[in-house]
Amino acid sequence: MSMEDYDFLFKIVLIGNAGVGKTCLVRRFTQGLFPPGQGATIGVDFMIKTVEINGEKVKLQIWDTAGQERFRSITQSYYRSANALILTYDITCEESFRCLPEWLREIEQYASNKVITVLVGNKIDLAERREVSQQRAEEFSEAQDMYYLETSAKESDNVEKLFLDLACRLISEARQNTLVNNVASPLPGEGKSISYLTCCNFN
């Protein structure tokens, strides 16, 4: 694990109501696919994509909800040590927008208070069925001090931008907190956790 080739590793976590397109966004970004209306993805914990930003390799570990959002039963441990949260709603579904405050409360309680949150309105390819205006979402995101972006996982609109902008912000954030932040010391999300538990160091 120590030999892995990257300068930064960040854990990004998606949340939002079921059906807003979280899984599709991840798939689109990591695999370039838009899977036709398929159920929950089975067996996938997180997806990884390494991107290069200004010559630096940034490994993004992107976690999906595993369907636990459907009945509002996301485990708290899902939020732990996330560096960024993508809070997603569906622009064609008023309900998914109205649930945002509920999601924000969960974030506030379980996520690190330094987490970067991005609000994403997905499915802009269905503009004719829009129920949530851009202005409303902008106002909301400003009030909550979040970045805001509209995307289409289907048409691949703004999906790259979403993750790359996020990666840039995470890098500059990491730089500010620097001192400890290099590959040698475990980055959040990676940590002592997995690698720690698996390498047996006999004294």
Contact residues for ligand GDP, defined by CB under 6 A: 18-24, 37, 122-123, 125-126, 152-154
| Least Å from the CB of residue 180 to another protein | 5
| Least Å from the CB of residue 148 to Mg ion | 21
Q: Which does 129 bind (CB under 5 to 8 A by kind): ligand GDP, Mg ion, another protein, none?
A: none
Handedness of CA 137, 88, 79, 59 (dihedral sign): negative
Q: Which stretch binds Mg ion (CB under 5 A): 22-30, 118-126, 165-173, 185-193?
A: 22-30
Q: Which does 45 bind (CB under 5 to 8 A by kind): ligand GDP, another protein, Mg ion, none?
A: another protein
Contacts of 173 (CB under 8 A, 6+ apart): 83, 114, 116
AA letter at 195: S
Q: Judging by DSSP bridges, how do beta strands 46-53 and 8-15 pair with one another? A: unpaired
| Least Å from the CB of residue 161 to another protein | 25
Q: Which of 13, 16, 23, 153 binds Mg ion (CB under 5 A)?
A: 23
Count of CB atoms situated within 10 Å of the CB of 105: 10
Instruction: Using CB under 5 A, count the residues that bind Mg ion.
Output: 1
Q: Phi and psi for 33 in degrees, rounded to 5?
A: -110, 150
Handedness of CA 26, 27, 32, 34 (dihedral sign): negative
Our CB check for ligand GDP shows the closer of 107 and 171 to be 107
Nearest to 117 by CA among 8, 16, 7: 16
Q: Which does 24 bind (CB under 5 to 8 A by kind): ligand GDP, another protein, Mg ion, none?
A: ligand GDP
The structure tokens listed for 176 are 């500010």
The residues that touch Mg ion, with contacts defined as CB under 5 A, are 23
